[in-house]
Amino acid sequence: MASEYSFDVVSKVDMQEMNNAVQQALKEIETRFDFKGSKSDIKLENDQLIVVSDSDFKLQSVVDILQSKMIKRGVPILNLDYGKIEPASGGTVRQVIKLRQGIDQENAKKINILIRDSKLKIKSQIQGEQLRITGKSKDDLQSVMALLKGAGLPLELQFTNYR
């Protein structure tokens, strides 16, 4: 029996599922009556989405459709970082939405403080864009998972590499 158990806390977006959500959203936009003749489009480039539409209202509708498709495919919408809506060519508006991959230092420190304040016999260490949580008891590790799920952090967390 192992003397120490551990798991990693990560925050990442599955790009294949993200691509599928974008394709489904585009398909719905093509078939919807309220988007007939509009110049609405979604492009996935590297770690960002570029959403284009005729007006602010239609752009918000496109983003809503995209979010619903992301939720259905299990893609975390908390990892979206919305840019401001800006005018684009041809009388359209554009919004750049960045996909956050990994846990930034600020949120990693918040997670460390949450774990330390829980008074559990757990060690946590920041390893780049993820955290490694170790402890002698599996129950304590599961308590930490429940604590982090209920913490209301501004990003979606996944728990991997459970040993």
Reported as a single tens digit per residue, the pLDDT across 81-99 is 999 999 888 888 999 999 9
Structure tokens at 117: 């304040």
Query: Mean per-residue pLDDT for 11-39?
Result: 90
DSSP assignment letter at 126:
E
How far is 155 from 149, CA to CA, in rounded Å? 10
Residue type, 154: P
**pLDDT at residue 64 greater than cutoff 60:** yes
DSSP assignment letter at 16:
H
Which pLDDT band holds residue 114 (cuts at 50, 70, 90)? confident
105: Cβ contacts below 8 Å, ≥ 6 apart:
126
Structure tokens at 130: 């993820």
> Model confidence over 115-163: pLDDT tens digits?
888 888 888 888 888 888 888 888 888 888 888 888 888 888 888 887 7
User: Which domains, from first to last, does the chain contain?
Assistant: 5-12+102-160 (3.30.70.860), 15-99 (3.30.70.990)
For the chain, give the mean pLDDT: 87
